[in-house]
Each structure stands twice: as C-alpha cells, then as structure tokens.
Amino acid sequence: MHDIRAIRDTPEAFVAGWTSRGVEDAAAVVEQILTLDRELRAAQTAGQDALSKRNAASKAIGAAMGKKDMAEAERLKAEVEGLKGEIAANEAVEAEKARELRDILVGLKNLAAEDVPDGEDEAGNVETGRWGEPRRTGPAKDHADLGEALGLLDFEAAAKMSGARFAVLKGGLARLERALGQFMLDMQTTQHGYLEVNPPYLVRDEAMFGTGQLPKFADDLFGATFGSVDEGLWLQGVQGQLRDLHEEWKSEGDLFKDEETGQVLLDTVSFEEFIDHAFLRLGANPIVEEYIRGKRPMWLIPTAEVSLTNLVRETILSEDELATPMRLTALTPCFRAEAGSAGRDTRGLIRQHQFSKVELVSITRPEDSEAEHERMTGCAEAVLKALELPYRRMLLCKGDMGFSARKTFDLEVWLPSQDTFREISSCSNCGDFQARRMDARFKRAGEKKTEFVHTLNGSGLAVGRTLVAVMENYQDQDGRIAVPSALLPYMGGVTHVGA
C-alpha cells in the first residue's frame, strides 16, 4: 500500500519508480490517482461544509422557536432537510472515490530501493557473492530419477490421489526431509535468535491482503470453504437483513436495483455478488457477517510469511519492543497453485503444490530494516554452509522482485544434474508496504504520533528444494545418498539413505 500524501508531494518519483517496475503507462496511473484524490478531498470538504451549515441551522431553529418566529423556524427546517440530502450526496461521492482510489493503490507494486538494479527479468539480476565449489565430477543423476530408483519417491501414487505437482516420500527419504526441517528450525532458534511460532495454515482475506497476496494474486492460491452453500437457503436467511441494511447504505443498495423500476432485485443476486457488495463493501456489518463468516472461503497459506507477519496486524508496538528487531520463524507446509508456471519444472520436487519451508520474518523500526535484511540473508546462508552446499547470492533487479518487496536477495544452490544454480531462498525487505496494508505501527518513546513498522521475510530454507540439493550433491556411485554431517544427530545413526 502506498502513502497518498507521498504520491501527492512527489508524483514524479512514483512515475519513475513504477515505470522501472514494469507498470504500464505509470504517468497515466499517477494522474488518475491524483485526480481521484482531488475529487475525494473536494467531496470531503463539501460534506464538512454542508454539515457545519446543517448544525448551525439546527441550532438556529431552537432560537427561532424561542422567539415564536415560526416562519423562520419552518424555513430553517426546510434548509436542514435540503442539507441532509446534500450531505448524503457528498458522502456517496466520497465513498465511491475512496473505493476507486483504494482499488488502484492496492494493485500497485512496492517501489524499489535506490540500490536495486534496473532490469526486466532474471537476466537483469546481479550476482553479489558465492560460497563453495560446484560439484562437476562424479554421478549427477536427477533427484527424481535417484529417488524413484531407490523406491523412496513416488510421483505416480501422489498423482492418483492429488494430481500433478505432488509427491509421496517414503522411508529414509521422508526421514531425511524431516531432519532437514528440524535442523533448520533448531539453527534459526538456537543460533540466530528467532522465536519459534506454530501459526494457523488457514487465513482470512484480510491476512492475505496484508502481505500482498490479495487481491492481485488470488489465482496463485488455494482456497478452502466450510461445507457447501445452498443459495436458496442463503437467500431466505439473509434477504431480510439485506433489505434492512438497504436503507442505511442506499448507495450500495443501488447495486441491486433494476435501473428502470428501482425495484431491489434480491432474487437475482448471486452469492458471489452478495459477498462482494454486501459484505466487503459494506464494511463487515455484524448482522451479515454472523451468517456468512462460515461460508466465506479461507486461504491455505502459500508461505508462513502470511501468518507470521500478520501477528502485528492492527497493533501499535512500543519502541522498546523493537529495540531489537522482532524475529519470528515457523516450519509449516505451504500451498501454491503455481498458476503462472505451466510447463516449468513439471517433474520432480522443484515446483510442488505442497511443500515445507522454514520461514523467517522480522519486524523492525525503519532505520533498522536494511541491516536486518543483511542479517536475515546471512541466517539463510548459514544453513547452506552447514550443509556444505555450494550457492550464490543474487540481488534481484526491479523487474524480477516480488510485488511487496523493495529489495530482495535470492540464494541459489548448485544442482549437478542441471549444471546450474537454482533458487532455494528469497529474502526481502518490504519497508512499510505491508505495514500500511495491515496498519501495523509503533510509537517512539516520548512521541505522540505513531509510525509504520518495516517488515522483512525470507526462507531459511525451502525444505523440499534443500532435499533436492542434498540428494544431488551427496549421491554416490551406488545410487545412495550420504547424510550431511550436520544432519547425523537427526538421523538416528543412519549415514546413507538407500543403503
């Protein structure tokens, strides 16, 4: 989310920033934002003026009545009635312009930090360092072939029950994946000071909105609902409440009116239309919310970033709470529809609909986020070093960064079968972008005003991709997988998988 005052004060910076991040015709977008902003403020001013006049006229009615000047009192009453209509009209314009403005702002990417390189895609990313020597000799069997040959990786069984992009891990390979997750979580909590959290895997719209997945990336998510909805029963149960609400929110009620007759056509309103207009747009009225809360879809988290970051949603932290950055971690399953990945990594564990990941999240003061970004990336690198997996660090260009990020480092691990580096961690500084969407703030000691916190997130690491890297880099001539020394305490004495 963006600060409208900043856009108002420095529009050229946003034109340049969004242009560099691939926003089409950013100049026209900024002009549309500024136009809506002017119209919104004009409606607010007109509404406030009309309200002041109404209050003054209402007060004058009493004075006129006290003087027995009934003619003046009647004139003032008529004036008040007219001003009521003017106030309602301005409120309707204000609500509409505010909604239009918000709808534009929530779909626009974060601006990049000054030191992020220009570029349209991954070709513009810049390598900033690497560690270890890539394995170029010895067996280089693909992890999928390796796992299937050992009888420990079964894609066919997974496809029968769940479809493509799922896998069944068995025996020693399942244990090795579990060991990796536990090792990562232990390292981040005991060595790097992260607080372990066991968060929900199902979240509401508001949580996904806060971290930037909604509304723009719904196609990449998996949704879940509480049972089925009988639309006939739904209409019977809610139309009375909606009719009552119609008087209170006339501008919204117009969405359900026949343009010629003015009749409220509730019988033709679909469940989806009701959700969109009566719930989301009417501000979660408790009468309606009570009925439909269980019918609204929830979302499976694509990453624990969503759950962990939303822990500070709609809160005001003290500066003392952020004297040291708030550091949170969780090992969770993650669920991604991979809507934009058709044809990519269709075989193996690289791009799955369901996978495990150790997530790192930091909440900081604005002045601390840049240093925390470096530290977080180092915490992810420490896992790769401990596992002795060669990797490189990449600074992503403006065109390749995620929606909410202002600066991102990717860590890419060496995969012998592909003779290249592949992404295994992404660590991003989001600045105050997510905090504005969540209304997450802090207050400095001795200050009355609040400020938005900065949020950061990163993988420490993606467990499935780390398993791929271990399988390929630790395979031997006999098709076995040696257990990295760092994992031996988690494997109960097992030194090789497939022995």
Distances (CA, A) of 438 to 1, 162, 289, 296, 441: 9, 34, 20, 20, 9
Is 351 among the catalytic positions? yes
Is 38 among the catalytic positions? no
State the CB neighbour count (10 A cutoff) for residue 343.
5
* Cβ-based neighbours of 318, under 8 Å, separated by 6 or more: 442, 443, 445
| Closest by Cα among 179, 181, 157, 180 to 168 | 157
Burial grade of 71 (CB within 10 A; 0-12, 13-18, 19 or more): exposed
Query: What φ, ψ does residue 395 adopt, rounded to 5°?
Result: -90, 115
Tokens of 351: 């791009």
Report the DSSP beta bridge partners of residue 456: 362, 429
351 alpha carbon, distance to own chain's centre: 20
**Annotated catalytic residue, options 54, 135, 175, 336:** 336
Amino acid, single-letter form, for residue 345:
D
Question: H helices then E strands: how many in the chain?
Answer: 16, 18
Q: What is the distance between the alpha carbons of residues 421 and 473, in angstroms, rounded to a whole number?
A: 12
| Closest by Cα among 300, 421, 308 to 358 | 308
* Cβ-based neighbours of 498, under 8 Å, separated by 6 or more: 150, 152, 172, 479, 480, 481
**Annotated catalytic residue, options 20, 307, 425, 426:** 426
Quick check: 9 and 81 in contact, CB under 8 A? Answer: no
**Annotated catalytic residue, options 100, 388, 423, 451:** 423
Q: What is the distance between the alpha carbons of residues 232 and 412, in angstroms, rounded to a whole number?
A: 53
Burial grade of 432 (CB within 10 A; 0-12, 13-18, 19 or more): buried
Quick check: 170 and 191 in contact, CB under 8 A? Answer: no
Quick check: 347 and 331 in contact, CB under 8 A? Answer: no
Complete DSSP assignment for 308-351: HHGGGTT-EEEGGGGSS-EEEEEEEEEE---TT-TTSS-SSSSS
DSSP secondary structure letter of residue 364: E
Q: What is the distance between the alpha carbons of residues 82 and 67, in angstroms, rounded to a whole number?
A: 23
Tokens of 98: 């505010």
Helix intervals (H) in 106-193: 143-149, 155-162, 171-186
Is 336 among the catalytic positions? yes
**Annotated catalytic residue, options 21, 305, 465, 472:** 465
**Annotated catalytic residue, options 8, 204, 281, 351:** 351
Annotated catalytic sites, by residue? Answer: 336, 351, 423, 426, 465
